[in-house]
Amino acid sequence: MSLKVGLFGFGRTGAVVAGEIAKDPDLSLQWICRRNVENTQHFASRVLGYDSDFAPFITADHLTEEFFKSHPVDLVIDFSTGTTTQVYEKLAQHGIKIVSAISNYNDSELNRVKSISNNTSVLYSPNITLGINWLLMASKILKSMIPHADVEVVEEHFRQKKDISGTALKLAHHLDLDPNEHVNSIRVGGIVGKHEVIFGLPYQTIRLTHESINRAAFGTGAIFAAKWLRDQPHGFYSMEQVLQQSFKQKLREMQ
């Protein structure tokens, strides 16, 4: 049985993610919640190039008791601007699981998301691409092996991005670095997203780099997370946990 999915956000990244969900045979895109719905665009399917009507656009006002009954979903993937945490409680009340890929939660919003995980399954990742989470794991392992190395995080994004990358802040946190001193931001051109962790040693450097060359990478990561979260009990999860479990399973298979 396919996993029924609702999507929050249909901006630059959300639209690409919607396309990836619609193409996956194991998922069924039911609706997309966005800030505004144009009168000439009622179905995301038409915007995505399909000749049939599915995945209607809605606004947050539509998320009522009646709507959830008539348009049930198993899981919601959130690629919005981050103002949707206020409706997470409604999702939890209806047994809907949540994959949040919001990169700019403040402390209050993140605490709210964590508290909601007491009533449903929530997976939170500020950068949900598989590659960046492998980078996070590899960086932590390398830092433990060479604890005295100088370490810097460099993040590069498209010129219009204002905030410091949430992924870079997460890297700094997991590597015990002060982000004000060790996170370096570059804004230029149309870079989708590039993160680099640099380890400086005498006479040598080690660079671990991940670069998203297409926003579809966020879609494949979110889909991977959604399929994993489907069978998880209530709780707060991260992509690191998903990949660690996958890695351990592969090791067992190889033995």
Percent of the chain with pLDDT over 70: 100
Same domain, 94 and 25: yes
pLDDT at site 204 = 97
Count of the separate structural domains present in the chain: 2
What is the rounded CA–CA span in Å between residue 22 and residue 139?
34
Q: In the structure, what pLDDT confidence band is assigned to residue 152 with cuts at 50, 70 and 90?
A: very high
Rounded average pLDDT over 56-74: 93
Residues 6+ apart with CB under 8 A from 83: none
Indicate the range of 60-64, 162-166, 208-212 predicted with least confidence: 162-166
* The predicted structure's pLDDT at residue 84: 79
Give yes or no for residue 86 having a pLDDT over 90: no
Q: If residue 197 lies in a helix (H) or strand (E), which one and from where to where?
A: strand 193-201
| Same-domain check for residues 221 and 208 | no
Q: What is the pLDDT of residue 233?
A: 96
Q: Dihedral of the CA atoms 42, 45, 47, 52 (nearest 10)?
A: -90
What's 110's domain CATH number?
Answer: 3.40.50.720
Say whether pLDDT at 12 is over 80.
Answer: yes
Kindly report the average pLDDT of the chain as a whole number.
92
223 and 115 share one domain: yes
- 18 and 113 in a single domain? The answer is yes
- Name the residue among 10, 62, 64, 46 with its Cα closest to residue 219: 10
Q: Which residue segment(s) compose the domain that 188 sits in?
A: 130-212
Q: Are residues 135 and 82 in the same domain?
A: no
Q: Are residues 8 and 91 in the same domain?
A: yes
pLDDT: which is higher, 136 or 103: 136
51 in the same domain as 144: no
